[in-house]
């Protein structure tokens, strides 16, 4: 089994069409078919079902694909590590952050990391929650930041920043007559909320309060970023919710915030990391990374 077998398999698994896969690989269809046959003979299992209706992965093929993708991910990490070391770094620390919802405190923390560990290259990647979890399990990421603990097995979610959750409304919204917005008044308006498919269920307590106040689901517009939420709120499409620390640095004169007239409604940012049994080496040991992060919180 050689890397060319695995590359051919991965491309065909993506295309599920021999002609298109061969074109992507810049080879003829016959060599591609031969390569797949060699791989199947080596493994002793069929990887694809082929008939007049098309090409499909078998169950064995689907399982093998996940391992092949992890292998290619590991190879890419090895290539990047070599490039970093050859450029004078000792290695790379890969950090995943939520798409469109980066906490402003992260800038100060990263600046401290660069100052105290200048020999380590730090790379940030915006990723959905599902992409973060996959990357942490495969070793593509060393740590991540998210707003939920619903991350499955093999990942530890540790609370890092806990902030009040505030209501965001347009500058002339009727709810501004309240210094603290009652839930029963708020739910009369459409809501603009983070898409749970991208960020997970980030605030179960808020969901519970809204469900109690509304009785049944009302109009909700799901968005993929803080910027989109603020844009829709400012335009009067609905009422949004935001982390108080994050929205303070947004500088939107057309959006005003108010606290909720409810107790203990907070927004928590969690640090995600592989559990102690996961093999995810990093240039900065994670215990040192965590200690530095906790030191920033204590300050």
Average pLDDT on 212-234 reads: 81
Residues, the chain, total? 299
Q: What is the pTM of this model?
A: 0.68
Q: Can you tell me whether residue 40 is helix, strand or coil?
A: helix
CB 164 within 8 A of CB 266: yes
Encoding tokens for residue 119? Answer: 């020999």
pLDDT class for 39, splitting at 50, 70, 90? very high
CB 71 within 8 A of CB 6: yes
> Whose CA is closest to 280, among 119, 69, 74?
74
Query: Does residue 175 surpass a pLDDT of 90?
Result: yes
Candidate from 154-163, 215-224, 240-249 with smallest mean pLDDT: 215-224
* 53 or 235, greater pLDDT: 235
* 226 or 8, greater pLDDT: 8
Q: Residue 234: what pLDDT?
A: 95
Query: Does residue 196 surpass a pLDDT of 80?
Result: no
Candidate from 132-136, 182-186, 256-260, 289-293 with smallest mean pLDDT: 289-293
- Beta-bridge partner residues of 257: 168
> Whose CA is closest to 146, among 102, 185, 190, 180?
102
Q: Residue 61: what pLDDT?
A: 92
Q: Which range in 54-58, 220-224, 285-289 is most confidently predicted, on average pLDDT?
A: 54-58
Q: What is the DSSP string of 150-169?
A: ---TTEEEEEEEEEEEEEEE
Q: Residue 278: what pLDDT?
A: 46
Q: Please tell me the distance from the alpha carbon of residue 200 to that of residue 98, in angstroms, as a whole number.
A: 11
pLDDT class for 9, splitting at 50, 70, 90? very high
Alpha helices in the chain (DSSP H): 3-15, 18-25, 29-43, 59-86, 105-116, 129-138, 183-186, 196-199, 204-214, 226-234, 244-247, 286-298
Q: Residue 119: what pLDDT?
A: 80
CB 226 within 8 A of CB 104: no
191-194 and 91-98 as β-strands: parallel, antiparallel, unpaired?
unpaired
Query: Does residue 283 surpass a pLDDT of 60?
Result: no
Q: Residue 256: what pLDDT?
A: 94
Write phi, then psi, for 21 (nearest 5 degrees). Answer: -65, -40
Q: Can you tell me whether residue 251 is helix, strand or coil?
A: coil
pLDDT class for 284, splitting at 50, 70, 90? low
Average pLDDT on 132-155 reads: 87
pLDDT class for 134, splitting at 50, 70, 90? confident
Q: Please tell me the distance from the alpha carbon of residue 297 to that of residue 299, in angstroms, as a whole number.
A: 5
Round the average pLDDT of the chain to a whole number and report it.
84
pLDDT class for 105, splitting at 50, 70, 90? confident
Angle, CA of 271, 92 and 296, to the nearest 5°:
40
Average pLDDT on 43-57 reads: 90
- Percent pLDDT > 90 in the chain is 36
- Which residue reads 């920043």 in tokens? 161
């Amino acid at each position: 089994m050689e890397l060319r077998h695995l590359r051919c398999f991965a491309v065909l698994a993506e295309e599920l069409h021999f002609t298109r896969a061969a074109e992507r690989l810049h080879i003829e269809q016959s060599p591609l078919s031969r390569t797949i046959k060699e791989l199947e003979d080596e493994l002793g299992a069929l990887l694809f079902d082929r008939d007049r209706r098309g090409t499909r992965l078998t169950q064995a093929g689907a399982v093998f694909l996940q391992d092949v993708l992890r292998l290619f991910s590991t190879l890419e990490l090895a290539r990047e590590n070599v490039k970093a070391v050859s450029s004078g770094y000792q290695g790379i620390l890969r950090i995943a952050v939520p798409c469109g919802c980066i906490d402003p405190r992260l800038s100060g923390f990263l600046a401290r990391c660069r100052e105290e560990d200048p020999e380590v290259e730090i790379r940030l990647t915006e990723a959905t929650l599902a992409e973060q979890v996959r990357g942490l399990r495969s070793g593509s990421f060393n740590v991540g930041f998210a707003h939920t603990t619903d991350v499955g097995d093999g990942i530890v979610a540790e609370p890092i920043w806990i902030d009040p959750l505030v209501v965001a409304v347009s500058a002339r919204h009727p709810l501004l007559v309240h210094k603290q917005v009652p839930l029963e008044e708020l739910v009369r308006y459409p809501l603009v909320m983070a898409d749970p498919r991208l960020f997970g269920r980030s605030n179960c307590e808020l969901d519970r309060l809204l469900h109690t106040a509304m009785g049944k689901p009302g109009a909700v517009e799901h968005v993929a970023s803080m910027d989109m939420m603020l844009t829709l709120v400012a335009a009067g499409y609905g009422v949004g919710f935001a982390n108080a620390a994050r929205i303070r640095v947004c500088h939107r004169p057309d959006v005003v915030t108010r606290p909720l007239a409810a107790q203990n409604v907070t927004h928590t940012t969690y640090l995600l990391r592989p559990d102690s049994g996961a093999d995810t080496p990093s240039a900065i040991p994670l215990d040192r990374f965590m200690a530095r992060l906790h030191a920033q919180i204590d300050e």
